[in-house]
Amino acid sequence: MKNNIISKEELCNALAAKIGRERFEKFQNARVAICGAGGLGSNVAIALARSGVGHLHIIDFDKVEATNLNRQQYKVSQIGMNKVDALRENLREIMPFCDVTTDCVRIEEGNVCELFDGDTIICEAFDGAKDKAMLVNAVLEKMPDKYLVAASGMAGMDSANNIRTKEIGRRFYLCGDFVSDVEKADGLVAPRVMLCAMHEAQAVLRIIDWDNKEGN
Partner 1 sequence: MVKINGEEKDVAGISVAKFLEDNNYDVSRVVVEVNFDIIPKNEYDTYMFKDEDSVEVVSFVGGG
Q: How many residues bind partner 1 (CB under 8 A)?
A: 40
Residues 6+ apart with CB under 8 A from 133: none
Name the residue nearer to partner 1 (CB basis): 9 or 183. 183
- Selected binder of partner 1 within 18, 169, 190, 191 (CB under 8 A): 169
- Selected binder of partner 1 within 113, 179, 186, 191 (CB under 8 A): 179
Name the residue nearer to partner 1 (CB basis): 30 or 196. 196
Per CB under 8 A, 61 contacts partner 1:
no
Per CB under 8 A, 104 contacts partner 1:
no
Closest approach, Cβ 26 to partner 1, in A, equals 25
Name the residue nearer to partner 1 (CB basis): 11 or 185. 185
Per CB under 8 A, 174 contacts partner 1:
yes
Residues 7-46 that bind partner 1 (CB under 8 A): 36, 38-41
Per CB under 8 A, 136 contacts partner 1:
yes
Which of 124, 163, 155, 157 is CA-nearest to residue 140? 124
50 C-beta neighbours (distance < 10 Å), count: 15
Give the span between the Cα atoms of 129 and 126, in whole angstroms: 8
Per CB under 8 A, 98 contacts partner 1:
no
Name the residue nearer to partner 1 (CB basis): 16 or 182. 182
